[in-house]
Amino acid sequence: MPKSESCGQFEQLVLTAILTLHEQAYGVTIHKKVQHLAKPKNATLGAVYVTLDRMEDKGFVSSWLSEPTPERGGRSKRYYRVEAAGERALRESTATARRIWDALSDVMIGRRGRKWGEAWK
- Condensed to tens digits (0 to 9), the pLDDT of residues 47-79 reads 999 999 999 999 999 999 988 888 878 889 999
Domain ranges of the chain: 9-120
The pLDDT score that the predictor gives to residue 1 is 41
Look up residue 40 and give its amino acid: P
Q: What is the DSSP string of 54-96?
A: HHHHHTSEEEEE---BGGGTTBPPEEEEE-HHHHHHHHHHHHH
pLDDT of residue 4: 64
Select from 1.10.40.30, 1.10.10.10, 3.30.420.40, 3.30.930.10 the CATH code of 9-120. 1.10.10.10
- Asked whether residue 107 carries a pLDDT value surpassing 80, the answer given is no
